[in-house]
Structure 1
């Protein structure tokens, strides 16, 4: 019997969801441990041994522990689907995937992720600035997706998985996707993949 991978998470985190989505797409058995972060479970000594910075997600794969969502995506594909379309080895394709992983960690975090953090979790990010950054990103992505199905290559890759969660849930942060038909079609392609698992949704804030 295959030992399931343990995913330490908080259910409404897009960073955690991208890891769960990757696990599901790869067909790997996993179990989730939801941390009570409001009461400091992510700062408890036993969790800091898994994730020294006290951040989710983190995984335990048969005793090997790793934190950081994008690093986990790479690990999972390298271990369980090496040589597949998820992480291409051709230099140009690999570079395109890496570029979108960087965008996920930078532009997506600063835009739709930060805007949602304000509305869903009440953080102190500058909401107006985050919304502006989200729309700037989406304008570029909308053009990029013209005539293509996926972000990095001609097949779905970890780049699409890393980008999906916060963009799909951007309306929860007050960022409307109505004006981006290519993005919405791309989201639909991901949601149509076998074994897709959704992230828990939060109410969409009213706009003036």
Structure 2
């Protein structure tokens, strides 16, 4: 189910989210913000499902709202510290800087990120770091990627089984078309599922 769409001068974003078996609580949480200088997106997948999973992911996104101006590693540490005495969550933090035309990305757990650069026809796919955030001290693997004009990206929780990301991002022009194709291939709601699609317009 499409939950939110952002259309601005430099970026478009579409978010689709559904809960496991249409339960009242979704264990996935997300937050994004677009400013003059950067775009930030945080996706959290609380362990398990139901209310306790929701509480973990909600805690992460609330911290991201408060500290969205921080760097990616700092945000990961802040999100981690808020999960003390909670169930824990897989967390990805993605920050795009318009002046340097680069993404900075860090993730722990089963969340996937794809970046498609159309000029070079290359798909960037950072390998996920296993585990989850739970308040324990942890090292974060932060990576930087350049993006090209009209680049597209996908961030999704593990409720979605995505194959052929490059073909989808390359073939279909609009985010709505991209989302439709991806979601048609994933009709089973046996887990909380969040899909975030983005397109860079310059």
Point out the structure with the larger helix share. Answer: 1
Q: TM-score, normalised by structure 1?
A: 0.31
